[in-house]
A and B are shown apart, each in its own frame.
Chain A
Amino acid sequence: MTDIQTTTDPGLLLLISLASGAKHGHAMLLDVERFAGVRLGPGTLYGALSRLETTGQVEALPAEGRRRPYRLTGAGKIALEQRLAGLSRAVSTGIARVSA
Protein backbone atom coordinates (compact mmCIF):
# COMPACT_ATOMS: atom_id res chain seq x y z
CA MET A 1 0.00 0.00 0.00
CA THR A 2 1.31 3.45 -0.88
CA ASP A 3 2.07 5.48 2.19
CA ILE A 4 0.30 8.77 1.62
CA GLN A 5 0.28 10.99 4.67
CA THR A 6 -0.62 14.59 5.04
CA THR A 7 2.20 17.11 5.28
CA THR A 8 1.35 17.58 8.93
CA ASP A 9 2.51 14.04 9.71
CA PRO A 10 5.28 14.79 12.24
CA GLY A 11 7.33 11.73 11.28
CA LEU A 12 7.48 12.81 7.65
CA LEU A 13 8.29 16.39 8.62
CA LEU A 14 11.18 15.22 10.80
CA LEU A 15 12.55 12.99 8.04
CA ILE A 16 12.45 15.94 5.64
CA SER A 17 14.17 18.13 8.21
CA LEU A 18 16.93 15.60 8.84
CA ALA A 19 17.46 15.10 5.11
CA SER A 20 19.48 18.34 5.12
CA GLY A 21 21.76 17.15 7.93
CA ALA A 22 21.88 16.13 11.58
CA LYS A 23 19.90 18.29 14.01
CA HIS A 24 18.90 18.32 17.66
CA GLY A 25 15.31 18.67 18.85
CA HIS A 26 15.03 22.44 18.93
CA ALA A 27 16.74 22.85 15.54
CA MET A 28 14.29 20.35 14.03
CA LEU A 29 11.36 22.22 15.54
CA LEU A 30 12.54 25.54 14.05
CA ASP A 31 13.36 23.97 10.68
CA VAL A 32 9.93 22.31 10.39
CA GLU A 33 8.26 25.59 11.28
CA ARG A 34 10.32 27.36 8.59
CA PHE A 35 9.66 24.99 5.67
CA ALA A 36 6.19 23.65 6.54
CA GLY A 37 4.66 26.39 8.64
CA VAL A 38 3.83 23.80 11.30
CA ARG A 39 4.76 24.37 14.93
CA LEU A 40 5.29 20.92 16.43
CA GLY A 41 4.80 20.59 20.17
CA PRO A 42 7.68 19.09 22.18
CA GLY A 43 5.66 15.96 22.98
CA THR A 44 4.69 15.48 19.34
CA LEU A 45 8.28 15.99 18.19
CA TYR A 46 9.86 13.53 20.61
CA GLY A 47 7.02 11.03 20.14
CA ALA A 48 7.66 10.99 16.40
CA LEU A 49 11.43 10.98 16.91
CA SER A 50 11.30 7.98 19.24
CA ARG A 51 9.18 6.04 16.73
CA LEU A 52 11.58 6.89 13.91
CA GLU A 53 14.52 5.78 16.04
CA THR A 54 12.75 2.55 17.05
CA THR A 55 12.10 1.73 13.40
CA GLY A 56 15.71 2.53 12.49
CA GLN A 57 14.91 5.52 10.28
CA VAL A 58 16.92 7.96 12.38
CA GLU A 59 19.81 7.48 14.78
CA ALA A 60 21.13 9.47 17.67
CA LEU A 61 24.64 10.90 17.53
CA PRO A 62 26.86 11.49 20.57
CA ALA A 63 25.49 14.31 22.73
CA GLU A 64 26.88 17.82 22.30
CA GLY A 65 26.63 19.17 25.81
CA ARG A 66 23.02 18.66 26.85
CA ARG A 67 21.82 18.44 23.23
CA ARG A 68 21.74 15.22 21.26
CA PRO A 69 21.67 15.50 17.48
CA TYR A 70 19.89 12.95 15.28
CA ARG A 71 20.55 12.00 11.68
CA LEU A 72 18.79 10.12 8.92
CA THR A 73 19.86 6.48 8.40
CA GLY A 74 19.98 4.69 5.04
CA ALA A 75 16.62 3.08 5.82
CA GLY A 76 15.23 6.49 6.74
CA LYS A 77 16.38 7.98 3.43
CA ILE A 78 14.70 5.16 1.49
CA ALA A 79 11.50 5.52 3.55
CA LEU A 80 11.50 9.28 2.95
CA GLU A 81 11.97 8.85 -0.81
CA GLN A 82 9.08 6.36 -0.94
CA ARG A 83 6.78 8.58 1.05
CA LEU A 84 7.62 11.66 -0.98
CA ALA A 85 7.08 9.71 -4.21
CA GLY A 86 3.66 8.63 -2.92
CA LEU A 87 2.81 12.20 -1.98
CA SER A 88 4.07 13.47 -5.31
CA ARG A 89 1.76 11.07 -7.21
CA ALA A 90 -1.19 12.17 -5.08
CA VAL A 91 -0.38 15.86 -5.60
CA SER A 92 0.04 15.40 -9.39
CA THR A 93 -3.26 13.54 -9.59
CA GLY A 94 -5.01 16.14 -7.50
CA ILE A 95 -3.71 19.04 -9.59
CA ALA A 96 -4.63 17.27 -12.84
CA ARG A 97 -8.18 16.60 -11.64
CA VAL A 98 -8.69 20.11 -10.34
CA SER A 99 -7.40 21.57 -13.61
CA ALA A 100 -9.57 19.30 -15.79
Chain B
Amino acid sequence: MSRLITRLYPRAWRERYGTELSDLIDETGMSGRVAFDVARGASQEWTSQARLALAGGGSMVIGPAWRHPTAWAVVGAVVLLPTVLFIALSALAISNPFGDQFTSQRYLDLALLLAPALAALLAALPLVRVSYTPADGGPVATLSVRLRAVNMVVVITGLGITCLLVGHVLFESVLRLGA
Protein backbone atom coordinates (compact mmCIF):
# COMPACT_ATOMS: atom_id res chain seq x y z
CA MET B 1 0.00 0.00 0.00
CA SER B 2 2.81 2.41 0.88
CA ARG B 3 4.53 1.72 -2.46
CA LEU B 4 1.25 2.28 -4.27
CA ILE B 5 0.57 5.65 -2.66
CA THR B 6 4.05 6.96 -3.46
CA ARG B 7 3.15 6.52 -7.14
CA LEU B 8 1.14 9.73 -6.76
CA TYR B 9 4.41 11.65 -6.92
CA PRO B 10 6.18 12.79 -10.10
CA ARG B 11 8.54 10.10 -11.34
CA ALA B 12 11.78 12.06 -10.83
CA TRP B 13 10.85 12.83 -7.22
CA ARG B 14 9.74 9.24 -6.66
CA GLU B 15 12.97 7.81 -7.98
CA ARG B 16 14.94 9.95 -5.53
CA TYR B 17 12.76 9.78 -2.39
CA GLY B 18 10.10 7.14 -3.11
CA THR B 19 11.79 4.23 -1.31
CA GLU B 20 12.60 6.32 1.76
CA LEU B 21 9.08 7.72 1.90
CA SER B 22 7.59 4.27 1.50
CA ASP B 23 9.80 2.88 4.29
CA LEU B 24 8.82 5.77 6.57
CA ILE B 25 5.12 5.11 5.92
CA ASP B 26 5.71 1.44 6.79
CA GLU B 27 7.45 2.47 10.02
CA THR B 28 4.84 5.01 11.12
CA GLY B 29 1.82 3.04 9.89
CA MET B 30 -0.75 3.86 7.22
CA SER B 31 -3.88 5.78 8.21
CA GLY B 32 -6.33 8.19 6.62
CA ARG B 33 -4.32 11.11 7.97
CA VAL B 34 -1.09 9.72 6.49
CA ALA B 35 -2.75 9.05 3.14
CA PHE B 36 -4.08 12.62 3.05
CA ASP B 37 -0.66 13.99 4.02
CA VAL B 38 1.07 12.01 1.27
CA ALA B 39 -1.56 12.99 -1.32
CA ARG B 40 -1.13 16.66 -0.36
CA GLY B 41 2.66 16.30 -0.58
CA ALA B 42 2.33 14.74 -4.03
CA SER B 43 0.10 17.57 -5.27
CA GLN B 44 2.66 20.09 -3.99
CA GLU B 45 5.44 18.30 -5.87
CA TRP B 46 3.40 18.28 -9.08
CA THR B 47 2.67 22.00 -8.64
CA SER B 48 6.32 22.69 -7.95
CA GLN B 49 7.39 20.73 -11.03
CA ALA B 50 4.83 22.56 -13.20
CA ARG B 51 6.03 25.96 -11.94
CA LEU B 52 9.63 24.99 -12.66
CA ALA B 53 8.75 23.84 -16.18
CA LEU B 54 6.72 26.99 -16.91
CA ALA B 55 9.62 29.12 -15.70
CA GLY B 56 11.88 27.31 -18.17
CA GLY B 57 13.80 25.48 -15.49
CA GLY B 58 12.96 21.92 -16.41
CA SER B 59 10.75 19.63 -18.40
CA MET B 60 7.52 18.07 -17.19
CA VAL B 61 5.83 14.86 -18.25
CA ILE B 62 2.24 14.10 -17.28
CA GLY B 63 1.38 10.51 -18.04
CA PRO B 64 0.67 8.86 -14.71
CA ALA B 65 -0.56 5.61 -16.18
CA TRP B 66 1.72 5.45 -19.24
CA ARG B 67 3.96 2.67 -17.91
CA HIS B 68 1.24 0.19 -16.94
CA PRO B 69 -1.44 0.29 -19.65
CA THR B 70 -2.65 -3.28 -19.20
CA ALA B 71 -3.10 -2.87 -15.43
CA TRP B 72 -5.23 0.23 -16.03
CA ALA B 73 -7.28 -1.63 -18.64
CA VAL B 74 -7.91 -4.40 -16.11
CA VAL B 75 -8.96 -1.87 -13.46
CA GLY B 76 -11.32 -0.29 -16.01
CA ALA B 77 -12.77 -3.70 -16.87
CA VAL B 78 -13.35 -4.46 -13.17
CA VAL B 79 -15.17 -1.13 -12.75
CA LEU B 80 -17.22 -1.88 -15.86
CA LEU B 81 -18.12 -5.44 -14.88
CA PRO B 82 -21.02 -4.76 -12.43
CA THR B 83 -22.84 -2.65 -15.01
CA VAL B 84 -22.34 -5.26 -17.73
CA LEU B 85 -23.60 -7.99 -15.39
CA PHE B 86 -26.58 -5.87 -14.36
CA ILE B 87 -27.54 -5.25 -17.97
CA ALA B 88 -27.04 -8.89 -18.94
CA LEU B 89 -29.05 -10.24 -16.00
CA SER B 90 -31.79 -7.68 -16.46
CA ALA B 91 -32.03 -8.50 -20.15
CA LEU B 92 -32.34 -12.19 -19.37
CA ALA B 93 -34.89 -11.78 -16.60
CA ILE B 94 -37.38 -9.31 -18.00
CA SER B 95 -38.38 -7.72 -21.28
CA ASN B 96 -37.34 -4.24 -20.16
CA PRO B 97 -33.63 -4.72 -19.43
CA PHE B 98 -33.54 -1.88 -16.92
CA GLY B 99 -36.90 -2.43 -15.29
CA ASP B 100 -38.06 -0.90 -12.04
CA GLN B 101 -34.73 -1.48 -10.31
CA PHE B 102 -33.25 1.25 -12.41
CA THR B 103 -35.56 3.90 -11.07
CA SER B 104 -36.07 2.72 -7.48
CA GLN B 105 -32.51 2.85 -6.07
CA ARG B 106 -31.00 6.19 -6.99
CA TYR B 107 -27.44 5.65 -5.70
CA LEU B 108 -27.19 2.24 -7.32
CA ASP B 109 -28.52 3.65 -10.56
CA LEU B 110 -26.07 6.49 -10.50
CA ALA B 111 -23.13 4.19 -9.74
CA LEU B 112 -24.10 1.81 -12.54
CA LEU B 113 -24.59 4.76 -14.88
CA LEU B 114 -21.25 6.39 -14.08
CA ALA B 115 -19.19 3.19 -13.90
CA PRO B 116 -18.86 2.67 -17.69
CA ALA B 117 -17.72 6.27 -18.19
CA LEU B 118 -15.23 5.89 -15.34
CA ALA B 119 -14.03 2.58 -16.78
CA ALA B 120 -13.48 4.22 -20.18
CA LEU B 121 -11.55 7.02 -18.53
CA LEU B 122 -9.34 4.65 -16.53
CA ALA B 123 -8.56 2.54 -19.59
CA ALA B 124 -7.90 5.64 -21.73
CA LEU B 125 -5.55 7.25 -19.21
CA PRO B 126 -2.47 5.22 -20.21
CA LEU B 127 -3.05 6.06 -23.86
CA VAL B 128 -2.23 9.75 -23.42
CA ARG B 129 0.89 11.53 -22.26
CA VAL B 130 1.67 15.24 -22.24
CA SER B 131 5.20 16.58 -22.05
CA TYR B 132 6.34 20.15 -21.69
CA THR B 133 9.96 20.95 -22.51
CA PRO B 134 11.67 24.33 -22.45
CA ALA B 135 13.67 24.99 -25.64
CA ASP B 136 15.64 27.86 -27.19
CA GLY B 137 12.80 28.78 -29.55
CA GLY B 138 10.23 28.68 -26.73
CA PRO B 139 8.66 25.87 -24.74
CA VAL B 140 7.43 22.83 -26.63
CA ALA B 141 4.32 20.96 -25.51
CA THR B 142 3.91 17.47 -26.94
CA LEU B 143 0.80 15.32 -26.79
CA SER B 144 1.48 11.62 -27.30
CA VAL B 145 -1.42 9.30 -28.04
CA ARG B 146 -1.15 5.55 -28.60
CA LEU B 147 -3.68 2.84 -29.33
CA ARG B 148 -3.59 -0.47 -27.49
CA ALA B 149 -6.15 -3.15 -28.29
CA VAL B 150 -6.87 -4.18 -24.67
CA ASN B 151 -7.41 -0.61 -23.54
CA MET B 152 -9.43 0.31 -26.61
CA VAL B 153 -11.83 -2.59 -26.03
CA VAL B 154 -12.58 -1.30 -22.52
CA VAL B 155 -12.78 2.32 -23.70
CA ILE B 156 -15.17 1.53 -26.56
CA THR B 157 -17.29 -0.80 -24.43
CA GLY B 158 -17.43 1.75 -21.61
CA LEU B 159 -18.37 4.60 -23.91
CA GLY B 160 -20.89 2.43 -25.77
CA ILE B 161 -22.65 1.39 -22.58
CA THR B 162 -22.58 4.98 -21.32
CA CYS B 163 -24.31 6.17 -24.50
CA LEU B 164 -26.81 3.31 -24.22
CA LEU B 165 -27.64 4.10 -20.60
CA VAL B 166 -27.83 7.87 -21.09
CA GLY B 167 -30.07 7.31 -24.12
CA HIS B 168 -32.26 4.99 -22.07
CA VAL B 169 -32.56 7.48 -19.20
CA LEU B 170 -33.44 10.29 -21.62
CA PHE B 171 -35.96 8.07 -23.38
CA GLU B 172 -37.57 7.12 -20.07
CA SER B 173 -37.73 10.77 -19.05
CA VAL B 174 -39.44 11.74 -22.29
CA LEU B 175 -41.94 8.89 -21.86
CA ARG B 176 -42.63 10.00 -18.26
CA LEU B 177 -43.16 13.58 -19.34
CA GLY B 178 -45.54 12.46 -22.08
CA ALA B 179 -47.59 10.27 -19.73
Interface residues of A (CB under 8 A from B): 24-26, 29, 41-47, 49-50, 66-68
Nearest CB on A from B36, distance (A): 8
Could you tell me the distance between the alpha carbons of A91 and B28 in the complex, rounded to whole angstroms?
A: 33
A-B contact pairs, 17 of them (CB 8 A): A29-B28, A41-B38, A41-B41, A42-B25, A42-B34, A42-B37, A43-B37, A43-B38, A43-B39, A44-B40, A44-B41, A45-B24, A46-B20, A46-B21, A46-B24, A66-B19, A67-B20
- B23 interface hit (Cβ, 8 Å): yes
- B13 interface hit (Cβ, 8 Å): yes
* A41 & B33 in contact (Cβ 8 Å cutoff): yes
Across-interface contacts of B34 in A (CB, < 8 A): 41-43
Instruction: Count contacts on B: residues with CB < 8 A to the other chain.
Output: 22
- B109 interface hit (Cβ, 8 Å): no
Interface residues of B (CB under 8 A from A): 13, 16-17, 19-21, 23-25, 27-28, 33-34, 36-42, 44-45
Given contacts A43-B40, A43-B41, 14 further A-B contacts (CB under 8 A): A25-B21, A29-B24, A41-B33, A42-B24, A42-B28, A42-B38, A42-B41, A43-B38, A45-B24, A46-B21, A46-B24, A47-B44, A50-B13, A67-B23
From B16, B19, B25, contact of A50 by CB (8 A): B16
Across-interface contacts of A29 in B (CB, < 8 A): 24, 28
